[in-house]
Structure 1
Amino acid sequence: MAATVFYLGEIPPPGAVAVLDGPEGRHAATVRRIRVGESITLSDGRGVVAESEVVAAEKGRLELAVLDRRVAEPVVPAVTVVQALPKSDRSELAVELMTEAGVDVIVPWQAARCVANWDGKAAKGVEKWRAAARAAARQSRRAYIPEVGEVRRTRDVVELVRATVAEGGVVAALHESGAGRFTALPFEAAKRVVLIVGPEGGLDDAEIAAFTEVGAFAVVLGPTVLRTSTAGAVALGALGALTSRW
C-alpha cells in the first residue's frame, strides 16, 4: 500500500479501471514514481475508499484496476473548528495539524484580535486552506477531506453556536481564563462538537459574552497557553481520547 491516499472524483466499481491524472496523477506518477504492479489506495474524499493495482503508468498519469470498494464510516461526534486567522507564516500549519488530528469542518474566523486580515483576499486564503487540508488528508490517509468554509465574522459564529446547541451539540470556546475545564464537558453524548480557537491575542470579552450567551462553554484546555496554530489540534487530540472518536 502506498504511504498516502490518492483522491479521485469518482471511484469506479471493482473490476473497472480508474484513471488518475491531473495534480493527483502527477503526484503519484512523477513525484512518487509509482509503477505498474504497485498497490495504492484511492478515495473520493467523501468516504469511499478502494484498493487498486497499477496496470499502466505514463508521465503524470496512472491506470489502476479497482480491486474492491467500501465506504468508511464517519467518525462521531463530528467536529467543527472555528479557527481565528493565524499569522500568515502559521496559517496553513494550523489547517495541516487539525486535518491530521481528525477535524471534519474548518471555519476561518476574522476575530476581533486577529493580526491577520483577509479583507479583499478571503478567496485566496480559503483556497490555500483547502489545498492544505487536501494535502494533509492525503498524507494521513483520510477517507474524508475536511470541509473548509468561507471566512466568517463573529456574528456568523454566534449563529453557528446557537444552531449547534439547539440540535444537542456542545460548543467549547477555548480561553485561558475559562471558568470550566475542557475535560469536564459532556462530549460523549453530543451529536456535534464545535471548538472555537481564538487568535494569538486571545478571545476578547465581547466575543466570550456573545458565545456563552447562546450556549457555548468557555473552558481552559490545559495548564499551558498554546499558540492559535496548535490549539485546535491539541483539542482534537484530547477530544479523541475523551470520546469514541479514537
Structure 2
Amino acid sequence: MHARFFCPDLPAEGHEFSLPPEVAHHADRVLRLRAGERVTLFDGAGREAEATLLQMGRDPRARIDAIVLCDREAPLSITLVQALATGDKMDWIVQKAVEMGVTAVQPVAAERSVLRLDGARAEKRVEHWQQVAVAACEQSGRNRVLQVAPIRSLPHWLAEATQGDRWVLSPEGGERLSRIPAPTAPVALMVGPEGGWSERELAAAKVAGCRPVALGPRILRTETAGIAAMGAMLALWGDY
C-alpha cells in the first residue's frame, strides 16, 4: 500500500499543488519519501486520489493522477458516546473506534469520570483526539474523517434531541445484543467510565429513552467495552 495522507483541499485530477505543511513534514521528515514516489490522498469527505510526489524539500509538490471512488464506511451508523477515561485510554478508544468504522465520537463527563476537563484544556484535548482520528483514518483506509464532538456533560447530552436509537451498556439488566433485531436507524452507543455508570445516570438514561444492552456476564473495562460492542454489532448486522 502507498502511504496515505489527509488533504482536506484535494484538487482535481491532473492538477499540481503544494502539499499541506503537516503532510509535507510527515512525508519528508518521518517517512523519508522522495520525488517520483506514489502516495494516496483523501479529503475526509469521501474522495480519494492517487498522486505522485513531484518534489520534496522546501516546496513539496504533488500531482493528482487519478480520483478514485471507493466507499469503506461501515453499513451501520454508530456514534460512540464515551465517558471520559484517564491517561491515554481516550486516545486508544478514538483510534480503535475509527478502525471499527464509527461515524462520530461524543465524549461525555460522567459522575465517576476521573478525568475532568473544561475550558481551554477541554478544547485542546478534543483537538488532539481529532488528530488521532485523522491519523487512524490514514492507517485504516477510511476516506471520511469522523468528528470528535466537544465534551458534554451526560445530563446535557441526554437532554438533546437525537436521531435514531440510544443504547447504554449496562452489565446488569441489559438485553444481549444477539437478541436485539438489526437497527434500522443510527445508534448512539453509551459507554461508562472506569467506575461504571452511577445508578442515577442509568435511571436518567432510561427516562431519556436509552435501551440498556449487555455484552455477557463479564465486566469489561471502559476501553474494551465500546470496541467489543461495535465488533459484535458489525458481526451481527454489518460487513463482517
5 Å-filtered alignment, 1:1-246, equals 1-2=1-2, 4-59=3-58, 61-70=60-69, 72=71, 74-120=73-119, 121-160=121-160, 163-164=162-163, 169-186=164-181, 188-246=182-240
For 2:77 and 2:130, the matched residues in 1 are separated by: 18
Structure 1 contact 86–200 (Cα < 8 Å) conserved: yes
Structure 1 contact 26–60 (Cα < 8 Å) conserved: no
Shift of 1:244: 2.9
What are structure 2's unaligned runs of at least 5 residues? Answer: none
- Distance verdict in 2 for CA 1:15–1:118, change over 3 Å: same
Give the secondary-structure state (helix, strand or coil) at the position aligned to 1:200. coil
Shift of 1:89: 3.3
For 2:36 and 2:56, the matched residues in 1 are separated by: 10
TM-score by length of 2: 0.91
After TM superposition, the structure 1 stretch with the greater mean CA deviation from structure 2, 13-22 or 70-79, is 70-79
For 2:107 and 2:88, the matched residues in 1 are separated by: 16
For 2:34 and 2:84, the matched residues in 1 are separated by: 41
Shift of 1:60: 7.3
TM-score by length of 1: 0.88
- Which amino acid is 2:10 matched to? I
Shift of 1:180: 1.0
Deviations 1:11-58 (A, max 9, x none): 222111243231111101221122223221110111111112222222
- Which amino acid is 1:232 matched to? G
For 1:61 and 1:222, the matched residues in 2 are separated by: 52
For 1:57 and 1:43, the matched residues in 2 are separated by: 19
Identical positions, percent: 33
For 2:55 and 2:143, the matched residues in 1 are separated by: 24
What are structure 1's unaligned runs of at least 5 residues? Answer: none
Give the secondary-structure state (helix, strand or coil) at the position aligned to 1:25. helix
Structure 1 contact 14–69 (Cα < 8 Å) conserved: no
How many residue pairs end up in the alignment? Answer: 239
Structure 1 contact 17–66 (Cα < 8 Å) conserved: no
- Which amino acid is 1:171 matched to? R
- Which amino acid is 1:225 matched to? I
- Distance verdict in 2 for CA 1:95–1:73, change over 3 Å: closer
Please tell me the root mean square deviation across aligned C-alpha atoms, in Å: 2.0
After TM superposition, the structure 1 stretch with the greater mean CA deviation from structure 2, 128-137 or 70-79, is 70-79
- Which amino acid is 2:221 matched to? R
